[in-house]
Chains A and B, each alone.
Chain A
């Protein structure tokens, strides 16, 4: 399962990197009749201004994947830092950080992102900031709960007894122990952020000069592409790309968690009142869409 996910993802990454070579046309130029049906020269036809949809799709993978990757890095680093510091230091710091996490998790994400994106203005940097700064809370909470058990383990206590500083212990002893969980959370977060970017772009909140898969669907919807046969080559492909990337991340996450799981689950103190079982199919706690 993990291999299938990795293979799909690799395919998209390669397409994104070699976009100028792979794309048959320049997606910014009018190379066909508006609303042209698929032909040999234009395998997926053309959009309302006559741009080649296949080329558009290939170039869009650059933006979609970049936004997904950068927001995920941002959110994972932030989430891991908050989770490790809170879980390790406990006390007041932890209480404040976790209150913050609770607050963020209780807000409706998409409407808040829409408001933020609308006010900040439409460009890719803002989009990345808006998504990245809101989705770190779930990983932070999960990582913290594992840190709580790691800080009580022998080698951490030994390091503390020998007088190591908190910063050193967190970086050298706690971080390596939670790295597998951080990796799993990275994959989950990527999943969420790709979907969020697509939703925001579909609502017309992405940079108007750069198109992602969601933005292609925004234009298709605005031009009522679904009323004509054009949906087959204009609406179907971008959605399939989004779904394929999200599924590949889900597969990867599933495989990663299987590998990390057994010890992790049993040593996680149940933060919620559910008797956390050694689940064969890990409960996904972080769908933030």
Chain B
């Protein structure tokens, strides 16, 4: 039998190659979409209100500026090298480099998405494990119904309702953006303001995602607990606690990690609509603004950045599997 570490390396290498392929597809899609979409490239490069009034000379100039009169392959090469240099084009509306606009918004989204994934995993996964360990109770049945229902509600709608309730009726939390617009206190005061504005978007996204992780954790642990080795562990005289924590959950963890990794893309999508509801200045809100103002370069840049993030998250999860679960190590070594 070859050494597991070698096999793990090979497995990791395969994964990296696969995700590199995904990345290439995402990049190429971005290149192809404006060229395949109805209309001329001009429609997507100048601010929408100027499209109707543009003169032929201006048109030529725009085409030359973006290298659109060159052969397609040459355009593609220029596009790829541009991306490698961190050039994602210029916003038609604001005239600023798209990269700058994206990087400005990225930290807000990272905080929101990272926080929501962590909370949803802890709450959803924890409740799911608990529910599987105590199957058959009345509370447990209600918990299942609750999380199934949570899983079925549109994220933006939950956001709207929380907004109505907590800031409209109770007037507890400020909601607009991520920071106060005027008279900001420095240091701690600012952090507090931010935290207050983060509560509702974070709660919304967590609620939406926790439902699914609950279902995964529950079914995964329930499956493990019906296996023979659990019976064996109980026969050895281990306490229920030791059996569930040391044997059941250890094995039930892998599907949960898979689910969390798959979730990243979904949470990012959810963040898009939730940020819109709360005017939270992240990438999702930027996407919404760009849809409204027809700022195509920004839209494409945002999609690319999100795709890279999701791919990296998936890759990380793949590389984590062998550490979490020895069975994966054995499997790849075979």
A residues sitting closer than 8 Å to B (CB atoms) are 99, 102-103, 105-112, 114-116, 118-121, 191, 195, 198-199, 202-205, 214, 217, 220-221, 226-227, 231, 235-236, 238-239, 242-243, 246-247, 250, 272-284, 287-289
Contacts and interface: CB of A to CB of B under 8 A. Distances in A.
A226 B163 contact: yes
A95 B21 CA distance: 14
A111 B306 contact: yes
B292 A236 contact: no
Nearest to A198: B154
A102 B18 contact: yes
Contact of A235 (B26, B33, B161, B219): B161
A192 to B, nearest CB: 10
A63 B156 CA distance: 19
A103 B157 contact: no
Contact of B161 (A109, A239, A272): A239
Most A CB within 10 A of own CB, among B218, B273, B296, B306 = B273
Secondary structure at chain A's binding surface: helix, strand, loop or mixed?
Answer: helix
Contacts, number: 198
A8 to B, nearest CB: 11
B20 to A, nearest CB: 11
15 contacts: A107-B307, A108-B269, A108-B307, A109-B269, A111-B272, A118-B296, A226-B168, A247-B149, A247-B152, A275-B251, A277-B219, A277-B220, A278-B226, A281-B215, A289-B266
Given A115-B303, A235-B161, A277-B227, A272 B153 contact: no
Interface of B: 18-19, 21-22, 25-26, 29-30, 33-34, 37-38, 44, 144, 148-149, 151-157, 160-161, 163-164, 168, 212, 215-216, 218-220, 222-224, 226-227, 251, 254-255, 258-259, 262, 265-266, 268-270, 272-273, 276-277, 287-288, 290-292, 294, 296, 299-300, 302-303, 306-307, 309-311, 314, 321, 325, 327-328, 331
Nearest to A121: B38
Contacts of A282: 219
Nearest to B25: A103
B137 to A, nearest CB: 14
B187 to A, nearest CB: 31
Contacts of B155: 199, 289
9 pairs of A and B residues whose beta carbons are closest in the complex: A277-B223, A110-B269, A239-B157, A119-B37, A246-B152, A279-B219, A108-B265, A247-B152, A106-B22
Given A202-B276, A221-B277, A277-B227, 18 more contacts: A99-B18, A103-B21, A108-B268, A110-B268, A119-B296, A121-B37, A121-B38, A199-B156, A199-B269, A217-B156, A217-B160, A239-B161, A246-B154, A250-B152, A281-B222, A284-B212, A287-B266, A289-B266
Secondary structure at chain B's binding surface: helix, strand, loop or mixed?
Answer: helix
Contact of A195 (B154, B224, B311): B154
Given A112-B303, A120-B38, A281 B331 contact: no
B73 to A, nearest CB: 22
B164 A231 contact: yes
Contacts of B300: 115
B161 A273 contact: no
A235 B144 CA distance: 26
Contact of B153 (A204, A243, A281): A243
B299 A109 contact: no
Contact of A108 (B160, B164, B255, B310): B310
Contacts of B44: 119
A279 B272 contact: no
A106 B314 contact: yes
A283 B219 contact: yes
Contacts of A287: 151, 212, 266
Contacts of B144: 281
Contacts of B215: 281, 283-284
A214 B156 CA distance: 10
Nearest to A254: B148
B328 A273 contact: yes
B327 A273 contact: yes
B259 to A, nearest CB: 8
A280 B219 CA distance: 7
